[in-house]
Chain A
């Protein structure tokens, strides 16, 4: 089945550090990738949608200069949390889809637990 690899699985770093999270589709080309954020005991909230070769579309309230998304190839998207602060601590999870429209299901990575000290 379709596999999405997310790396790293856990990050602990100091306030002010920038953190990059990678999301790779291992056995299919991902036209679209999604980034979600999940606070403890809450649901997944979509942060942004990225299509290969174009700028990401951010959801309302998500700072695009804070959360930089790059989708440079059909198998890789990256999320960079710039100058991270404790309030950015969260579980970040990516997903990838082979195409547009609900006909193509999303395949999820295992998530990255980010802790900012």
Chain B
């Protein structure tokens, strides 16, 4: 069975600080996909990134970066120079590629509060 653990329930930082959101996953499949979504207070889910299990290259997109480490089953997300608009709940999710469906298993989410 697949499982996603986001151990940090809530993180508070001051604007311009860097912050890392942790994500640890469990799966028996060798083919799988990892995702990060942002959910602002308005409720919609904003897709941030998808990474497949065969691509361990780290990725940077503006102030966002992701560190995928298969050896530790982790897919951590770092926001550099955080801004108030980054305040949201962030979900890490896993999809097993061989399941026949693109069913997503979500972590419990990490609420990020960025204060001015």
Q: A residues within 8 Å of B by Cβ?
A: 32, 34, 41-46, 49, 91, 93, 95, 97, 99-111, 113
Q: Is the interface of B mostly helix, strand, loop or mixed?
A: loop
A95 CB to nearest B CB, Å: 8
| Contact status B102-A105, CB under 8 Å | yes
| Contact status B102-A102, CB under 8 Å | yes
B31 at the binding interface (Cβ < 8 Å) = yes
| Contact status A110-B43, CB under 8 Å | yes
CB neighbours of B87 from chain A (8 A): none
- A108-B44 contact in complex given A43-B91, A43-B107, C-beta closer than 8 Å: yes
Using A44-B104, A110-B42 as known contacts, list a sample of 20 further A-B pairs with CB atoms less than 8 Å apart, ordered by residue number in A.
Answer: A32-B102, A34-B103, A41-B111, A43-B107, A44-B106, A46-B103, A93-B43, A93-B45, A100-B100, A100-B101, A101-B102, A102-B33, A102-B52, A102-B102, A103-B102, A104-B102, A105-B35, A111-B43, A111-B44, A113-B43
